[in-house]
Structure formats: C-alpha cells, structure tokens
Amino acid sequence: MAETTETVVDAGKGIRFKRNTSDVIPVIDFSVMLSSDPEVRKTIAPILRQACTEVGFFYLKNHGIPNAVIRRAHEAMQRYFALPREEKLKLHYMSNPNHRGYVSSGDINADHELKGKDMHEAFEAAQDLPADDPDYLKGIKFYGPNSWPETPPDFRWALGTYFDTQLEFGKIMLRAFALALHLPENYFDPIYTKPMSRMRACYYAPQDPDWDVSRIGIGAHRDYELFTTVWQSPQPGLQVKGTKGDWIEVSPIEDTFVINLGNLMQRWSNDLFLSRPHRVVNLTQEHRYSLVQFFGVNYDASLDAFPSCVSEQNPARYPPISCGKNTEDQVAQTYYKK
C-alpha cells in the first residue's frame, strides 16, 4: 500500500517512528466484527491499523446499518432542504442555545485560512436528551434537546433513527479501533455510556464549474473527534488531501460508508493514527447530500494518550484533554468566530 515514507520527528528527541503514507483508500469488510467469535473479530485489527496509520480514511462495507434507515433519512433531508430559506432559518443554529439546527449557506468556513464562506447547507443534531438532563443543566451543550423542524413531518423520526442507529454502530466500531490500537477490545465501552456525538445532514448545491476555493461546498478541514462516518448520495464531491498535496476523490461506493479519523484520535493515539484534511466540491450539476456523524466518547473522558501508544522511547506528546473540551474548543473556532 505504501507510496511515501514519512518520518515523524520530535524536536530535540530525534526520530519517533517512520510511517508509510498512502493515498489508496481501502475498503474494509466489517462483517467480521459482527461475529460472536472473538478470534474472528480480531482479524480486523491489522487491516484497520494499516488504514488508520497510512491513510486515515477507509470505506466500510457490511456495516450492518439497514438500507431502509439510510433511505428514509435521505428522502426526509431532500424534502427539508427544498423548503424555502425563511422556513429553514426559523431554526437557525445561532438562535439555539445548544448548537443545533440549521446552518445556512455562507454561515461557516471550515477552512479557517480562507476568507470565503462554505456554500453547503446543513442541519445539525446531537444526543437528543431532555431539557432537565443533569449534564445539560451543568452547561454541556452537546447534551440536551435537539431542535427539530415540524416539516417535513417525518424528518425527526427519519433523522433521529439514523442518529441512534449510528450511535449503536459506533460502539462496535470503537471495539474495532480498540483492537487496531492493540488495546483490550472493550477498552472504550466504559467511556461510551453517554457518548458525545454530532450529526450533520448536509446539502451541496452544484458548484459553478469555474469555482475557486473561496466558493466551495465545504473548505479543507480536519474533523475534531475520534472518527466520522459519511454516507454520500451517488454524486461525488468528497476529496482528501493526498500525500503530495493534491486532492484525491473519495467517490461514493454503493452500500458503504466512508470513515475518517478526527483530531482527537490522532492526539490520543500519540500521532500514530492520522486525521487528514478533506473538503467537498460538487461539480456534478446535481444535488449532493451527505449524512455525516462525528463520534466521541463521554464528555468527561480525559486522556493524554492510549496506553498502547506510549512507551519510554515514545512518551505522550500532548497534555491530557477531555473529549468534551476538545470538541468545544474546535467547534467554537469554526462556528462562532465572526
């Protein structure tokens, strides 16, 4: 798989490790993780470890999420984004106390270096918990109630079901990551009891063929959490930054998700696993939709590095950070900086 060798160096301490990096995005078969035999489940470890250290992106097939759940979410979001702008603006995320609701075209710039604004629209949701949830009352915005539109009438049900199904899937996916990190398979289970997760249902209108990076679906960025699942409608547009600085298409493959790693995974793996920059450019002249879900662990779970990623020769490079603080800091930079 290797195309380029990168040397990871610590200032003053010398070479930490050499890694091969690759722009070939592998397709990983998840069916082994659904086996009741631990020996079968373990077979995913070397494949997933290689994808995470060399690429940071992979497709997942046989993920176990029913097609009907995805199809209904896709249909409901198509109806939602077709609503008049004024209707969608009624639930604008800036008028919501806990960062949920509608993000309109031009609201954010995921690439903080750019002056332009991202063209895509999104609807954002997170763990849908009651307003008297004790953690929400403490001020944790990522817990607490969602802000659902009344139209289309099935939106809440379809998107809520998608979110919850993904949240359950995330638990199994984290077991696979634990195996890939050479941790006990259940390492994440005790810190995935009230996990932080955010969902963005995204709509990308066709872009002008003579676009430039200041008018882009979503500008180049790295995700914030442990990992992200992306379901894409058949229109291509997602791109990952290649090892030579070029942009590599991550075109949709039917019945798969794209999974990419986020900054917290890179940090907690002591830079072993990669969080790669990516962006979306929709040049298809068709509407493009995606369902993007970000996965963390419990808000308070705090770590400098996974125990399997540190040694005497390779001590933790970063101070401890909690999952909640990490997401809050990074979300604030993208969404509230004016």
Binding site for Ni ion (CB under 5 A): 223
- Interacting partner of 197 out of Ni ion, ligand OGA, none (Cβ under 5 to 8 A depending on kind): none
200 binds ligand OGA (CB under 6 A): yes
Residue 128 interaction partner, one of ligand OGA, Ni ion, none, beta carbon < 5-8 Å per kind: none
Q: Per-residue DSSP letters for 132-197?
A: T-HHHHTT-TTSS-----SSSTTHHHHHHHHHHHHHHHHHHHHHHHHHHTTS-TTTTGGG-SSEEE
| CA dihedral of 148, 189, 31, 176, whole degrees rounded to 10 | 110
Q: Which of 21, 232, 233, 322 binds ligand OGA (CB under 6 A)?
A: 232
Q: Is the CB of residue 108 less than 8 Å from the CB of residue 117?
A: yes
Residue with smaller CB distance to ligand OGA, 229 or 270: 229
C-beta of 77: minimal distance to ligand OGA in Å?
12
- Report the partner that residue 173 touches, choosing among ligand OGA, Ni ion, none (CB closer than 5 to 8 A by kind): none
Strands 57-61 and 27-29 turn out to be: parallel
Which C-beta is closer to ligand OGA: that of 176 or that of 230? Answer: 230
User: Which one of 218, 240, 265, 272 is in contact with ligand OGA (CB under 6 A)?
Assistant: 218
Per DSSP, the chain holds a count of helices (H) and strands (E) of 8, 16
Q: Which residue has the tokens 């990516």?
A: 278
Long-range (24+ apart) CB contacts under 8 A made by 178-181 are 179/41, 179/42, 179/44, 179/45, 179/48, 180/44, 180/45, 180/46, 180/48, 180/49, 180/52, 181/49, 181/269, 181/272, 181/273, 181/306, 181/308, 181/309
Among 125, 278, 298, 328, indicate the residue that binds ligand OGA (CB under 6 A).
278
Cβ-based neighbour number of residue 81 at 10 Å: 20
- Among residues 128 and 223, whose Cβ is nearest to Ni ion? 223
Site string for ligand OGA, 236-255 (x = CB under 6 A): --x-----------------
User: Does residue 223 belong to the site contacting ligand OGA (CB under 6 A)?
Assistant: yes
Q: Does 202 bind ligand OGA (CB under 6 A)?
A: yes
Residues 279-298 that bind ligand OGA (CB under 6 A): 280, 290, 292
Q: Which amino acid is at 324?
A: G
The count of chain residues that interact with ligand OGA, using the rule CB under 6 A, is 11
Q: Which stretch binds ligand OGA (CB under 6 A): 12-20, 141-149, 182-190, 230-238?
A: 230-238
Least Å distance, CB 232 to ligand OGA, is: 6
CA–CA gap between residue 67 and residue 57 (Å, rounded): 22
Residue type, 60: L
- Taking the least distance from each CB to ligand OGA, the nearer of 86 and 113 is 113
Rule CB under 6 A: which residues touch ligand OGA?
200, 202, 218, 223, 230, 232, 238, 278, 280, 290, 292
